[in-house]
């Protein structure tokens, strides 16, 4: 007979790893299913300044490594697999992956979110050819070149500041006439010499000959479109996109009530299906940060333990 875990956690970002830590520490048989390396989004973040207790200048990967080591230390197991389906009803839940099926008395959905795309012509074709969603991966390619950053929130402005260390010039393209980023970040950004702003603008088209070298930008007020071309000597420029996130809930559609794609829970992280919990960025919530994801994970694991006890499972 296949092993039935007390808790199967889908996703090994801060929410899943915190849930794994709490579950493991409560001696619950815990499995974390993750398709990539641990970390989720923060595994790609260059600096984490606002997680309480994080070390100054600490990178996402180094913080999340401590999260992960702590979860494994308390006995949580990990499997690398991509989840393709879930059967969440009934006493034993089934998580179906590409390489195996995992059974759990309870499930914690902690699959997080992925970067939102612009959804304009050329975006897919030029991903990895000038278009990027990961500054830590690709910033170094643009040393001495020109770079555009799309977005106006914390992530966009912070990554734009990081990119100014590599690029000759960074221009933030934002659809409004003021940034959404918190004031402390804005103040830092406005002091940087090679950081410029293109207000009330959206990217409509990306193109080039093998590498990104041309885009069409539209003025959100006048509807006027204009062409941005790469410097002739450069022959290319970069476009980094940080316009928010989209939850990883495609396979949950029809299984759980979703709100704009996000999973609705109560304060105890319970979804509408008994024994199924959700934690982290995948949930409907007001603040999506490492600290809130970790808190969700702790609550979800504790409630899952309670559910198992109450149902004498």
Spatial distance between the Cα atoms of 235 and 119, rounded to a whole number of angstroms = 24
C-beta of 7 vs 48, nearer to another protein: 48
With binding defined as CB under 8 A, does residue 20 bind another protein? no
With binding defined as CB under 8 A, does residue 251 bind another protein? no
Stretch that binds another protein, among 1-9, 32-40, 174-182, 270-278 (CB under 8 A): 32-40
Would residue 120 show up in a list of annotated catalytic residues for this protein? no
Sign, CA dihedral 99-256-246-48, equals negative
Shortest Å, Cβ 230 to another protein: 12
Sketch the per residue contact string, 292 through 311, with another protein: x for CB under 8 A, - otherwise. --------------------
Sketch the per residue contact string, 84 through 113, with another protein: x for CB under 8 A, - otherwise. --------------x---------------
Burial class (CB in 10 A: 0-12, 13-18, 19+), 200: middle
Stretch that binds another protein, among 16-24, 121-129, 265-273, 279-287 (CB under 8 A): 121-129
The catalytic position among 69, 85, 137, 177 is 137
Using the rule CB under 8 A, which residue among 4, 29, 44, 120 binds another protein? 44
Shortest Å, Cβ 98 to another protein: 7
228: CB partners within 8 A, 6+ apart: 148, 214, 215, 216, 217, 237
Find the helix or strand (DSSP H, E) in which 45 lies: none
The catalytic position among 6, 81, 138, 154 is 138
CA 185 vs. chain centroid, Å, equals 20
Would residue 138 show up in a list of annotated catalytic residues for this protein? yes
Closest of 251, 293, 264 to residue 82, by C-alpha = 251
Spatial distance between the Cα atoms of 18 and 14, rounded to a whole number of angstroms = 6
Using the rule CB under 8 A, which residue among 25, 58, 61, 116 binds another protein? 61
Q: Is 97:81 a contact under the CB 8 Å cutoff?
A: yes
Instruction: Name residues contacting another protein, limited to 126-155 (CB under 8 A).
Output: 127-132, 134, 136-138, 140-141, 143
Total of chain residues touching another protein, rule CB under 8 A: 28
Longest dimension (CA), the chain: 71
Beta strands in the chain (DSSP E): 4-10, 30-34, 77-80, 83-87, 93-97, 101-109, 113-115, 131-132, 146-150, 169-173, 195-198, 201-209, 211-219, 225-229, 237-241, 245-247, 258-259, 262-263, 276-278
Burial class (CB in 10 A: 0-12, 13-18, 19+), 284: middle
With binding defined as CB under 8 A, does residue 245 bind another protein? no
With binding defined as CB under 8 A, does residue 211 bind another protein? yes
Stretch that binds another protein, among 89-97, 103-111, 123-131, 169-177 (CB under 8 A): 123-131
Triad 274, 277, 278: Cα angle to 5°:
150
C-beta of 72 vs 74, nearer to another protein: 72
Would residue 267 show up in a list of annotated catalytic residues for this protein? no
Which residues are known to be catalytic?
Answer: 134, 137-138
Residue ranges binding another protein (CB under 8 A)? 35-37, 39, 43-44, 60-61, 82, 98, 127-132, 134, 136-138, 140-141, 143, 210-212, 236, 238
């Amino acid at each position: 007979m296949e092993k039935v875990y007390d808790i199967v956690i889908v996703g090994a970002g801060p929410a899943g790893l915190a849930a794994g830590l709490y579950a493991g520490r409560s001696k619950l048989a815990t499995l974390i299913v993750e398709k990539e390396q641990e970390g989720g989004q923060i595994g790609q973040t260059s600096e984490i300044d606002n997680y309480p207790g994080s070390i100054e200048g600490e990178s996402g990967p180094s913080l999340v490594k401590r999260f992960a080591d702590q979860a494994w230390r308390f006995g949580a197991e990990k499997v690398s697999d991509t989840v393709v389906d879930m059967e969440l009803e009934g006493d034993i839940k089934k998580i179906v992956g590409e390489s195996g099926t995992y059974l759990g008395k309870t499930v914690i959905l902690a699959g997080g979110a992925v970067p939102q795309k612009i959804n304009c012509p050329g975006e897919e074709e030029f991903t990895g050819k000038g278009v990027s969603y990961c500054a830590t991966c690709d910033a170094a390619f643009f040393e001495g070149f020109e770079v555009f950053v799309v977005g106006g929130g914390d992530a966009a402005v912070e990554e734009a500041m990081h990119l100014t260390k590599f690029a000759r010039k960074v221009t933030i393209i934002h659809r409004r006439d003021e940034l959404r980023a918190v004031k402390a970040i804005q103040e830092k950004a406005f002091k940087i010499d090679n950081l410029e702003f293109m207000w009330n603008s959206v990217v409509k088209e990306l193109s080039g000959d093998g590498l990104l070298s041309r885009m069409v930008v539209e003025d959100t007020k006048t509807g006027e479109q204009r062409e941005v071309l790469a410097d002739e000597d450069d022959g290319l420029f970069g476009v980094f996109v940080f316009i928010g996130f989209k939850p990883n809930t495609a396979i949950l559609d029809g299984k759980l009530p979703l709100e704009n794609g996000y999973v609705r829970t109560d304060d105890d992280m319970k979804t509408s299906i008994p024994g199924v919990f959700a934690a982290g960025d995948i949930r409907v919530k007001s603040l999506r940060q490492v600290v809130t994801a970790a808190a969700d994970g702790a609550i979800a694991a504790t409630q899952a333990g309670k559910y198992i006890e109450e149902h004498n499972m």
